[in-house]
């Protein structure tokens, strides 16, 4: 697929000024400018995150009400139930709050809905069970902001509800005792982009302040909070950057038995944000997707080494099962798309029976990436279709669904990702309406773009630049690994790997040899002796106890000169 290479023009005098003032390389200064980080204080905060810069948790609406009620539970021996979500963000939120409350001596339990049977968020059957178990206070984590009717039901049952969430807020908030969400329309909280576990962390931070506890009482959970924050793909800037930066320090030497076992089972000797995104988080998410989220939660809560090892091994098996199910659905979906030429439409919509609806969200992401078209996949069972959708830059899929809402049982999400439920009899009407709405709104000429941080020569690509880039970590949403361009490099050797799927290259210029790997670039028509331009990220390749700089190629094309 053709991609547009986007170069950012920056003031070179400003680059030199920032580099000199902050004692960093010009390449790092250029990356900071590319990302809009220009103020001296902002640059210092970005390069050197400090715990002192965490925002006051009581700036969040209703935080004081929530804290007072939780402390009252401690004083009166009242039971709290934590109600979460089945993804990494929700699981880490429950684990963080439960462990903190337990240490305070507060009676607490948790409820984790089954993704396959109950779906996302609060439901009245669960609330009835929770009430029967003697719960006086229900705290939602990573959910609840749209549960207006369910909170009303909880009120009728005599349960005080504290909502903690981070999703977009509806016009009418649920009538809970407290509603804590940095995205509230009336919020003045300085940073609206916390993960659900980030909001949970602010809650335990606030309780600690109210009780005059040592800050270690809440900071020690940053390893778990970091895991959920990275996994939820929230922007790794501002307060999230502080959380993840310090969380990674703790995670490398975590005292959490379950995390130790998970890191070992995933095969990591060192943990960074990339290891979380591609190693730890998928294993936890696999449990939720396969309808067994409570297993992952038990991993984070256990104090038994043997149990932790057994659960971590189970997570590995579930993740493998999830990968196999995912591959089959991808193959099925691509066969349908190619056979019916659905890739010619402005949006790809595919419904099928028997697909595992816990996995189709991942598949929708991969289909979107493959064809660069918004994609909605729907799995039908007993006349009901449960679907997930992913979009492309510039097209608001959630807004498009609002124009088809009369065809849907329910839907939710945001611009780039949605979930929905539709009856089988309404499916064709929904599909036709969504295709019409998309056709009217989408940019039909849209192609994926790659944002380039700097053009570098081969002689600049060395271990020193890699060390400099450590200042920019942790990488993630809104702070991706920098992308560079080098031009007119000669292809000295070329190999195709994994059934011609990947590209392995040796490149040369001015007697400098560079090793490169291009994943999923095996279809590029590159030959021995060609001169090429390439976009790449820098990474450290570790093999047989030997470390070398490797170019992770994102796109490649033949040089024009």
In the chain the domains, ranked by start, together with CATH numbers, are 4-11+450-558 (2.40.50.460), 57-244 (3.90.1640.30), 254-325 (no CATH), 340-441 (3.10.310.30)
Q: CA torsion angle for 111, 112, 117, 121 (degrees, to 10)? A: 90
Determine the Cα–Cα distance for residues 432 and 424; give it in Å rounded to an integer. Answer: 14
Residue 184 three-state SS: coil
Q: What is the pLDDT of residues 517-553, one digit of tens each?
A: 999 898 898 999 999 999 999 988 877 677 788 999 9
Q: Could you give phi then psi for residue 544, rounded to 5 degrees?
A: 55, 45
User: Please, which residues bridge with residue 507 across strands?
Assistant: 491, 514
Is residue 227 pLDDT above 80, yes or no? yes
Determine the Cα–Cα distance for residues 310 and 317; give it in Å rounded to an integer. Answer: 11
Burial, 429: exposed, middle or buried (Cβ in 10 Å; 0-12, 13-18, 19+)? Answer: middle
Determine the Cα–Cα distance for residues 232 and 248; give it in Å rounded to an integer. Answer: 15
Least confident window among 201-215, 328-342, 541-555: 541-555
Residue 91: the pLDDT is 95
Say which residues have a Cβ less than 8 Å from residue 149's Cβ, sequence separation at least 6: none
Determine the Cα–Cα distance for residues 38 and 339; give it in Å rounded to an integer. Answer: 51
Mean pLDDT, residues 458-471 taken together: 87
**Mean pLDDT across the chain:** 92
Residue 116: the pLDDT is 65
Is residue 118 pLDDT above 70, yes or no? no
Say if strands 375-381 and 348-353 run parallel, antiparallel, or are unpaired: parallel
Say if strands 79-83 and 4-7 run parallel, antiparallel, or are unpaired: unpaired
Mean pLDDT, residues 203-229 taken together: 97
Burial, 109: exposed, middle or buried (Cβ in 10 Å; 0-12, 13-18, 19+)? Answer: middle
Q: What is the pLDDT of residues 351-376, one digit of tens each?
A: 999 898 788 988 999 999 999 999 99
CB 15 within 8 A of CB 30: yes
DSSP assignment string, 462-519: SHHHHHHHGGGPSPBTTBPPP-EEEEEEEEEEEEEETTTTEEEEEEEETTEEEEEEET
pTM: 0.89
């Amino acid at each position: 697929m053709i991609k547009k290479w986007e170069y950012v023009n920056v003031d070179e005098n400003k680059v030199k000024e920032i580099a000199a003032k902050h004692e960093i390389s010009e390449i790092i200064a250029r990356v900071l400018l590319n990302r809009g980080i220009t103020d001296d204080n902002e640059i210092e905060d970005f390069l050197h995150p400090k715990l002192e810069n965490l925002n006051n948790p009581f700036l969040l609406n209703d935080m004081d009400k929530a804290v007072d009620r939780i402390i009252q539970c401690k004083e009166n021996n009242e039971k709290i139930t934590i109600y979460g979500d089945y993804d990494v963000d929700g699981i880490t939120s429950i684990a963080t709050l439960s462990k903190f409350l337990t240490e305070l001596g507060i009676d607490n339990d948790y409820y984790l809905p089954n993704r396959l049977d109950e779906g996302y968020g609060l439901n009245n059957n669960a609330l009835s069970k929770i009430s029967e178990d003697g719960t006086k206070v229900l705290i939602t984590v990573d959910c609840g902001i749209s549960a207006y009717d369910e909170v009303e039901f909880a009120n009728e049952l005599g349960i005080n509800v504290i909502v903690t969430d981070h999703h977009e807020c509806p016009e009418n908030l649920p009538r809970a005792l407290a509603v804590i969400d940095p995205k509230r329309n009336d919020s003045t909280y300085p940073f609206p982009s916390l993960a659900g576990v980030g909001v949970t962390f602010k809650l335990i931070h606030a309780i600690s302040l109210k009780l005059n506890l040592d800050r270690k009482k809440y900071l020690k959970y940053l390893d778990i909070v970091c895991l959920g924050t990275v996994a939820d793909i929230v922007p790794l800037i501002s307060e999230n950057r502080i959380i993840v930066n310090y969380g990674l320090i703790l995670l490398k030497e975590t005292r959490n038995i379950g995390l130790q076992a998970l890191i070992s089972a995933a095969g990591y000797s060192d943990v960074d944000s990339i290891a979380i995104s591609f190693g730890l988080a998928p294993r936890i998410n696999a449990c939720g997707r396969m309808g067994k989220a409570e297993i992952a939660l038990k991993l984070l809560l256990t104090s038994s080494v043997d149990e932790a090892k057994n659960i971590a091994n189970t997570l590995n098996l579930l993740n493998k099962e999830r990968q196999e199910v995912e591959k089959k659905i991808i193959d099925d979906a691509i066969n349908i798309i190619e056979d019916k030429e659905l890739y010619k439409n402005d949006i790809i919509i595919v419904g099928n029976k028997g697909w595992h609806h816990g996995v189709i969200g991942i598949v929708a992401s991969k289909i979107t990436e493959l064809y660069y078209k918004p994609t909605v996949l729907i799995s039908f069972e007993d006349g009901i279709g449960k679907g997930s959708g992913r979009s492309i830059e510039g097209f608001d899929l959630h807004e498009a669904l609002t124009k088809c809402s009369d065809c849907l049982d329910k839907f939710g999400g945001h611009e780039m990702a949605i979930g929905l439920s539709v009856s089988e009899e309404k499916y064709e009407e929904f599909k036709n309406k969504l295709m019409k709405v998309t056709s009217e709104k989408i940019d039909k000429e849209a192609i994926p773009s790659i944002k380039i941080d700097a053009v570098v020569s081969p002689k600049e690509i060395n271990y020193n630049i890699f060390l400099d880039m450590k200042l920019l970590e942790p990488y993630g949403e809104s702070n991706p690994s920098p992308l560079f361009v080098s031009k007119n490099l000669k292809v000295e050797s070329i190999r195709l790997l994994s059934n011609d799927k990947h590209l392995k290259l040796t490149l040369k210029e001015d007697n400098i040899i560079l090793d490169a790997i291009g994943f999923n670039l095996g279809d590029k028509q590159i030959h021995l002796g060609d001169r090429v331009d390439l976009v790449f990220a820098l990474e450290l390749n570790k093999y047989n106890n030997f470390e070398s700089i490797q170019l992770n190629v994102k796109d490649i094309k033949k040089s024009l000169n």
